[in-house]
Structure 1
Amino acid sequence: MTLKKNFNYLTITLCLFSISSSYGQFTVNKKNPFLVDKNVPVEYAKVTSSDIELYAQKTLNDVTSMVNAIKRADEASFSNVFGMMDEIKNKISATSNNCFMLYWVSPDAEIRAKGLAGYQVLDSLTTSIYSDKEIYSKMINFKASPSYAEFKGHKKNLVDDMILGFELSGVNLSEEKLAKYKALSKEISELSTDYSNNMNSSKDVLILDKKGAEGLPESFMNNYKNADGKYEIPVINATNETVMSNAELEETRRAYYFKFFNRAADKNIAILDQMVKKRDELAKLLGYSTFAAYSLVPKMAKNPETAWTFINDLISRVKNKAKADVALLENEKNSSGKTKNSKLEPWDIAYYKNKIQKKQYNVNNEELKDYFPMEQCLKGMLDIYQKLLGFEFKKVPNPSVWHEEVEMYEVYENNKLKGRFYMDLFPRPNKETWFYGVNIVSGKGDEIPVSMLLGNFTRPTKTQPSLLSQKELKTLFHEFGHIVNMMSYHGEFSSQSDSKADFTESMSQLFENWIADYSIVSTFAKNYKTGKVLPKATFDNMQNSKKVASGLGTIQSLQRCLYDMNLYDKYNANNPISTDELWRTIDKELDVMTFYVEGTHYQANWIHINTHPVYYYGYLWSEVYAMDMFTAFEKNGLTDTKTGIRYRELILANGTQKDIVKAVEEFLGRLSNNKAYIKSLGLE
C-alpha cells in the first residue's frame, strides 16, 4: 500500500492569512536539520520537536509569499500560475510528508506530537490555497487564452488536473458554503487522526497456557513466554498469521480473532459513524449525490457505476469457486474427528487451509520460513530490482535516522544519484502498524525523490533472525514496488508524480509475480541453519498449494470492496445503517458463508476505510493491469533489463504526465485486457 499525502486531500483548514499572521516573524535556527540544500539528506537523528515546529512555520511563511506573488502577477501565464503552484505543492508536500512520517515512526512523543501539528497546519494551508477564488480565476483566464489552446501532453494535463483539484476543493461555492466545506474538512481530518491514534496505540495480549498454545511453533512461543510459564502474545499484525494458521485449539483461534477485530472498537465505531456522515455532507455540499461519486471523479473509474459494475462482474465470476472452497474447508474441519457437522467459522479459514496445504501438498508454511530470513530476502530482492530496472542501490553506512534499526539507501543510475529511500521494517510501540511505501519528497527535474518503506515484519530474536512467511515475502516485494515507483519519477512537475489512485497498486502488484518463479526465488531462498537452497519440488508444491481456497480469498477481498462502496455510496443520512449491520447485509448478498462474527468490529481497525475511502476496489482494479503488464516480462524474461527499463520509463516514471491507459497500451504494444487476470484466478 502506498501513502502519498495528496495536495488536494480533504484536510483541516484555517484561513490562509489568519494562519500566516498568527505566527508573525521568527528566526530559524541555521542548524535546523531540515534546512539543507537540495538533495542533501536530513539528519533525522538530530531532529528535535522545536526543529519540526520551526520547519513547518518557515514553509508556511515561504508559501504565503509565493501565493502573494501569483496574485500580484498582471497577466496569467503557465509559469507564473501553474508553474508556481507546482513549486508551492512541492514545498508543502516535502514539509508535510516529513512531519507526518515522524508522527508515524518517531520513538519520541514530543516529536510525534509536533509532527502531527505541523502536518495539520500545512494541510490547513493547502485547503485554503485550493479554495482561493483569486488564484482559480487566474487559472480559468489562462485556460481561455490562445496559449492554452496550443498546449498538448503533460502541460495540458497539469492545467486540467490542477483546475479540477480546485473545483473538488469547493472553490466555486458561495462564501457561506465554502466556510461550511472548510469546517467539514477540518472535522473529518481530526476524526481521521483520532481513529489512527486509537488504532496504533491499541494494546492487547492473548494469554495462553500450554494447552492453548498447542500447534504454535516453539520458536514463536519462546518469544512470548512469561515468568509463570504462560505465553503472552501481543495482538498485532506480526502475530496474526502465525496464530490463526497454526493454533490447534479452536478456542485459541476464536479468542485471538475477537481481540484482533476489536482493537480500538470502543472508540473508533463512533468516530467512523461521524466520519461517514461528514464525508456525505461534504459531497452533497459540492453537488455530488454521494461521497463515492465525489471521490471517484479524479480516478480511473470516474464514477460509482463503473466501480460497481467491475466489482459485481468479479463476484459473478468467483462466487462458485468460493462456495466450493467453503465446502472444502468445512469438510476438512469435520473430517478431523474433533467436530461433526460443524460450519466453517471465519477463524477456521486460515487454519484449515494450512492443514490442507500440509496434507495434500506437503507444504508446511512454518518450516518454510527457515528458507526466508529477512536479510537474505532483502538482498535477493534488491539484486532483482537492480538488474531489472537498471538501478544500483547503495546502503549508506551509519546514516542519521530516527531509530537505530532504520537503514538508508541511495539509488544510482550510471553513477548518477537518482533517489534515496529508508527502510523501517519492524514493529515497536506507538509506530504505525500497517505496511506502506511512504512518499517524503516527490522529486522534480534535478531534485531526487525520497521515500520510506514502513513495515511491521516479524522481529528477529536472540536465537533466530527475522523469518518471513510467504505472505510477508509478498508484502515485502509489493511495498518495495512502491519505493521503486517513487524512485523512478523524474518529471518536470512534482504535481504529476502520483498516478491515478486506482492504478497505483498495479505497479507494485506486478512485482509480486517474481516470487512465483523458482529461478528468481532460488537466488535467495536458503535455509538459514543449513545453507541449503529451497528444493525445486518444494517450491512447486508451494505454488500449487496457493490454489487452496483461492476463490474464498478473492471473495473476501470483494466483501471489503462492497463494504467500502456501500458505506460511501449508499449512505442514507435520514436512516444511516449500523456499520456492524452492513457486514450482515453483505454476507446475505454474497451468500457464500457467514463472515461477520457478532461482537467483532473489523471496521474499527481498518486503515483503508479511514484514510483511503472508496479505494479498496482499486486493489482488484489495479491487479487487472498488473497481470496484463506482466505478460511482457513473461515473454521477454523476468530479468530482461531492456523490458524492465522500458517499464520503468513508460509506467513507473509516468505519474499523470500521460494518460495511463495509453501508457499501458504503448508498453504492451496492444490494447489492454483482463485475460491474464482471469487466468490468474483459475477462472479462464
Structure 2
Amino acid sequence: MNNPLLEKFDTLHESAPFSKIKIEHYQPAFEQAIKEAKEEVDAIINNPEAPTFENTIEAMELSGQKLGRISSIFFNLNSAETNDDIQKIAQEVSPLLSEFGNDIRLNLDLFERIKIVYNQKDSLNLNPEQAYLLEKKYKGFSRNGANLSDEDKSKLREIDKELSSLTLQFGQNVLAETNNYELIISNEEDLKGLPDYAIEQAKTEAESKGKNGWIFTLQAPSYIPFLQYAENRALREELFKASGRKAFQANEYNNEENIKKIANLRYKRANLLGYNTHADYVLEERMAKTPATVIDFLNDLLVKAKPFAEKEIAELADFAKRLDGIETLQRWDHAYYAEKLKQEKFNLSEEELKPYFQLENVEKGAFDIATKLFGITFNEINTIDKYHEEVTTYEVLDKDGNFLSLLYADYFPRAGKRPGAWMTSFREASNVNGNSIRPHISMVCNFTKPTKDKPSLLTFQEVTTLFHEFGHALHGMLPNTIYESLAGTNVYWDFVELPSQFYENFCYEPEALELFAKHYETGEIIPQELIDKVKNASNYMDGYQTMRQLSFGLLDMAYHANDPSTITAVQEFEKEAFAPTELYPSIENNVMSPSFSHIFQGGYSSGYYSYKWAEVLDADAFAFFQETGIFNEETAQKYYKLISSGGTKDPMELYVEFRGKKPSPEALLKRAGLVEA
C-alpha cells in the first residue's frame, strides 16, 4: 500500500496532503517512521569517527524529521478534527512514541558522545546558536534520566508510558463531556434577553440535530452569550453548573482518578530525576527558575489585585440587588450583571460593538497590522490541501516577496474539535547548511458561526482571542534561526505568551481599530465615541479577571509544587487551593480540575502562571511602542528581532536587547487599574 505520510510531499511548499491521508495510513506510518528514526540514531552512535558538533549534536537535530512531521499532522487533527478512530490510534501510538523518546534520552552510548562534545565546548568555536543548542541537547539528556541506573531507567519508561496514555484520556473525556450536553429550550419566553445571533445559532444547532426548539451547548460561542444575556436565571444556573460538572460526574468520563494518577506520576518522575517536585523539575528551564519565585509572584499580585476585585464584586452585588432584587450574587450571575453594569457605567454593550467586528475584517486587520509593522503580506491560496472545508489557507511573504510561511486558519466549533483556541504547527522552520525549510502554522479557534442572515460577528473578547492566537502565529511564522528545536515558539514557557498577549494590545488602539473595525452592513469605520468607550472600559473587571487567572496559577502550583499523594478528594483539594482568591460562594459538585486541560493535557503543568508573567512583559513591551508610536519602524524592527530569534538565547537577554532594560510590573498594574489613581 502506498502511504502518503511516508513519501516526500509532492505539493506546493511540501504542505500536508490531507485529502490523500486515510485513517489506515497512520499506524503503519508511525511504526515505519519510528524504525527509520531509530536507524538514524544508531548511525550517530556507531559512527567510528570521534564525536563532533556536526556528527553528533547537529546529526541528532536532523534525525527523526519524518516522525516529527507525521506526529504533527496526526496530533493536530486529534485536537481539531478528531473522531473515534483517530482517538483509538492516539491511545495506541502515544505509548510507542513515549517509549521511543526514552530509548533516545536514556541511551548511555549516545549521551557519552554528547558529553564528549559538551566537555570540549569552549574550544569548538561555536556560534551563539550552536552553543545554545549544545547546552539544550546536553540538558535534555541529563534532565531526563541519562545518568540513571538501569533499574531507574526502567521505572522512568513505565511512568512516561502511563502518563502519555492518561493525559490523552483526560482530553478525550473533556471533549466527550463537552459534546454530550445539550440545553434544549422549547419555550420562546426562555430566550428573553438573548441577542438575535445567539438565538439563530441555537435554532441552527437544533435543526442540524433534527430537533425542535433551540439548543445551547457548552461550546464557548453558545455558552458565553447565554451566561451573558439570558434573563432566565434558573437556566443560566443550569448551564453554568453543567459546565462545572464536566468530567466530574458518575460516568465513564470522570477525570478524578486520572488527575490523581497524573499528578502522582509527575511527582514520582521528578523524584526519580533528583528533583523535589514536578514544579522544581519544570521551572529549572523557565525564566522563573523556582516554585518559590512563582508562588511569590502570584501572591504579590494577589495582594495588589484582591482589594480591587472585592470592590468590583461588591459594586456588582449592589447593582444586581438594585436592578432585580438579587440577595446573593452567584457565579452564574456574574457575566449577566457585569454586562448590564458595563452598559450602565460606560454606555457600552457587546451587541453595540459586534456589527463592527465581522470575522473576515478582524482577520484582515490582524494581517494589516503585521504588514504595517514588519512589511509581511498574506495572500489567500486555494491550491493547498485542507483537513476541513472551513479552513482557510494563506501564503505569507516577506517585504521582498519571499515565502515565509503557510498559515491555516480554522475558526468555528465542530463536534471533532476540542474547545478553546490555540496555535500550532504542521512543520517547524530550520536552515541547516543552507537548506531553508519554512514553517506551516495553524490558528484554531471556536468563534460564533455565521447564520443564514448574518456573517460571523465577533464579540470583543473573540476579537482579542483572534489577535492573541495570531500573535503566537507570528512567533511561529517569522523565525530567523538555524535549528528547528530553537525556532519560533520553542522558547521558555513563561516567555511564549509574550508575543500573543502583546498583539492583543492593538485591539484598544484607535490607529489599529480604524484598519478593521468597520460596520458589516454600511462599511462605516467604528466611531471615535465607541473607541473611547472601549478604551475607558478596557480595564473593567480587571481585578476580578486577575484574581481568576491567579486562582488557576495557584491551583496548578498546588498540584505540582507539593507531594500530591495526600490528595483524596479533588473537590476539597481544589477548594483549599482556591480559598485565597474566592469571590463567590462555592457550588456543590462543580469542580474545575477535571476539565483543566491546560495543565493535565496541554503543556502548562507548573506553567499556568506564565500568562500573568508574560502580561508583565507584554504591558512593558507595548508601553515602549506607545512611547515611540505604535507603528514606529525602528521599534517594530527591534521587536521583530526579539520574536524571530526563537529560543536561541536566554529570553531575558533577548528582552533586554529589545527594550534596553528589564521589564517592570508598573505598566501592567497601571494598564489593569490595579494602582490607586
- TM-score, L = length of structure 1: 0.91
Is 1:265 the counterpart of 2:248 in the alignment?
yes
Give the 5 Å matches for 1:17-56: 29=3, 35-36=9-10, 39-56=13-30
Q: Is the 8 A contact 2:481 2:644 kept in 1?
A: yes
Partner of 2:215: 232
Partner residue, 1:582: 573
Q: Per the alignment, do residues 423 and 112 of structure 1 end up closer, same or farther by CA in structure 2, a change over 3 Å counting?
A: farther
Tell me the amino acid that sits aligned with residue 182 of structure 2: V
| Contact 1:388–1:639 (8 Å) recurs in 2 | yes
| Equivalent residues of 1:297, 1:303 under 8 A apart | yes
Per-residue CA deviation, residues 616-666 of structure 1 (Å, 9 max, x unaligned), is 1000001111111112221232223443233112x1111221221111111
624 and 91 in structure 1: CA distance in 2 versus 1, 3 angstrom threshold: farther
Matched, 1:294 2:281: yes
SS at match of 2:63: helix
Q: Does 1:125 align with 2:106?
A: no
Cα deviations by residue, 1:592-624 (Å, 9 ceiling, x for unpaired)? 523632211211212112122111100000111
Task: Identify the match of residue 103 of structure 1 among 78, 81, 102.
Answer: 78
User: Is structure 2 residue 197 aligned with structure 1 residue 219?
Assistant: yes
1:392 CA displacement: 1.4
Counterpart secondary structure, 1:224: helix
Residues 260 and 564 in structure 2, CA contact (< 8 A), matched pair in contact too: no
Q: CA deviation at 1:210?
A: 2.7
Q: Match of 1:394, SS?
A: strand
CA distance in 1, matches of 2:509, 2:77: 37
Q: Secondary structure at the match of 1:183?
A: helix
User: CA separation of 1:444/1:155 partners in 2, compared to 1, >3 Å: closer, same or farther?
Assistant: same
Q: Identity over the aligned pairs, expressed in percent?
A: 26
Q: Is contact 1:300–1:500 with CA below 8 Å preserved after alignment?
A: yes
SS of the residue corresponding to residue 438 of structure 1 reads strand
In structure 2, the residue corresponding to 1:315 is in which secondary structure? Answer: helix
- Paired residue for 2:385? 400
Maintained 8 Å contact 2:413/2:446: yes
Could you say which residue in structure 2 is the equivalent of 1:24? none
Whether the aligned pair in 1 keeps the contact of 2:558 and 2:577 (CA below 8 Å) is no
Partner SS, residue 239 of structure 1: helix
Superimposed CA distance per residue, residues 186-226 of structure 1 (whole angstroms, 9 cap, x where no aligned partner): 11110110111111122201123333322111331133235
Q: Give yes or no for the alignment of 1:255 onto 2:230.
A: no
Q: Which residue of structure 2 aligns with residue 660 of structure 1?
A: 651
CA distance in 2: counterparts of 1:168 and 1:148, whole angstroms: 24
Corresponding position of 2:150: 175
Cα distance, 1:491 vs structure 2: 0.9
Structure 2 CA distance, aligned partners of 1:112 and 1:281? 27
AA matched with 1:478: H
Q: In the TM superposition, what is the alpha-carbon distance from 1:586 to its structure 2 partner?
A: 3.2
Q: For residue 557 of structure 2, what is the aligned residue in structure 1?
A: 565
Superposed CA RMSD: 2.1
Aligned partner (choices 163, 183, 197) of residue 188 of structure 1: 163
Partner Cα separation in structure 2 for residue 165 and residue 32 of structure 1 = 28
1:64-83 matches, cutoff 5 A: 64-74=38-48, 75-83=50-58
Aligned-partner Cα distance in 2 for 1:33–1:454: 27
Which amino acid letter does the alignment assign opposite residue 71 of structure 1? I
Change (3 A) 1:404 1:119: farther
Which residue is 2:328 aligned to?
A: 343
Q: Which residue of 1 aligns with 2:314?
A: 327
SS at 2:315 equivalent: helix
Partner of 2:262: 275
Letter in 1 for 2:644: A
Taking a change above 3 Å as real, the CA distance of residues 148 and 118 of structure 1, as seen in their structure-2 partners, is: farther
Deviates more, 1:248-257 or 1:219-228: 219-228
Asked if the contact 2:346/2:537 (under 8 Å) is kept, the reply is: yes
Contact 2:159 2:265 in 1 (8 A): yes
Give the structure 2 partner of residue 16 of structure 1.
none
8 Å CA contact 1:368–1:469 kept in 2: the answer is yes
Aligned counterparts of 1:31 and 1:323: Cα–Cα separation in 2: 55
Q: Secondary structure at the match of 2:37?
A: helix
CA distance in 2, matches of 1:619, 1:467: 27
Structure 2 portions without partners, runs of 5+: none
Q: Distance in 2 between matches of 1:373 and 1:233?
A: 22
Tell me whether 1:309 sits opposite 2:296 in the alignment.
yes
Separation in 1, partners of 2:372, 2:154:
53
- Aligned CA distance change for structure 1 residues 140 and 33 (closer, same or farther; 3 Å): closer
Q: How much has 1:348 moved relative to structure 2?
A: 1.6
Number of corresponding residues: 653
What is the DSSP-based 3-state SS (H/G/I as helix, E as strand, rest coil) of the residue aligned with 2:442? strand
- Cα distance in structure 2, aligned partners of 1:249 and 1:501: 42
Rounded Cα–Cα distance in structure 1 between residues aligned with 2:30 and 2:534 = 50
1:620 partner amino acid: K
1:680 aligns with 2:671: yes
Native 8 Å contact 1:205 1:233 kept in 2: yes
Structure 1 residues 549 and 146: CA distance shift in structure 2, 3 A:
closer
Residues of 1 paired with 2:451 and 2:592: CA distance? 30
In the alignment, the residues of structure 2 paired with residue 33 and residue 403 of structure 1 have an alpha-carbon distance, to the nearest angstrom, of 22
Once residues 12 and 147 of structure 2 are traced to their aligned partners in structure 1, the CA distance between those partners, rounded to angstroms, is 36
Distance change >3 Å, CA 32–CA 464, structure 1 → 2:
farther
Q: 1:102 to 1:160 in 2, by over 3 A?
A: same
Deviations 1:471-511 (A, max 9, x none): 10000000011111001113111111211111100111000
**Larger deviation, residues 230-239 vs 407-416:** 230-239
The alpha-carbon deviation at position 89 of structure 1 amounts to 5.5
Give the distance between the partners of 2:82 and 2:567, measured in 1 at CA. Answer: 39
What does residue 514 of structure 2 align with? 522
Contact 2:508 2:534 in 1 (8 A): no
Could you tell me which amino acid in structure 1 is paired with residue 140 of structure 2?
G
Partner of 1:505: 497
Shift of 1:407: 1.1
Instruction: Pick the aligned partner of 1:608 from 584, 598, 616.
Output: 598
1:367 alignment partner, one of 345, 352, 363: 352
* Most deviating of 673-682 and 182-191: 673-682
The answer to whether 1:358 aligns with 2:358 is: no
Aligned counterpart, 1:18: none
Report the equivalent of 1:242: 225
Give the CA deviation at 1:265: 2.1
Match of 2:402 in 1: 416
Do structure 1's residue 550 and structure 2's residue 569 form an aligned pair? no
The answer (yes or no) to whether the contact 1:201–1:430 under 8 Å persists in 2 is: no
Pair 32,624 (structure 1): closer, same or farther in 2 beyond 3 Å: same
- Measured in 1, the distance between the counterparts of 2:66 and 2:383 equals 28
- The aligned counterpart of 1:431 is 417
Structure 1 range deviating more: 180-189 or 259-268: 259-268
Cα shift at 1:524: 1.4
Give the Cα–Cα distance (whole angstroms) in 2 for the partners of residues 166 and 623 of structure 1: 32
Per-residue deviation, 1:29? 4.2
Using the alignment, how far apart are the partners of 1:313 and 1:294 within structure 2? 23
Find the aligned partners of 2:644 and 2:43 in 1 and give their Cα distance: 31
- Further displaced range: 157-166 or 613-622: 157-166
> Structure 1 residues 629, 91: CA separation in 2 closer, same or farther (over 3 Å shift)?
farther
> What is the CA distance between 1:438 and its match in structure 2?
0.6
Q: What letter is aligned with 2:292?
A: E
**How many Å separate the matches in 2 of 1:525 and 1:156?**
46
Which ranges of structure 1 fall in alignment gaps of 5 or more residues? 1-26
AA at the equivalent of 2:36: D
| Contact 2:183 2:215 survives alignment (8 Å) | yes
> What's the secondary structure of 1:458's corresponding residue?
coil
Matched to 2:531, the amino acid is F
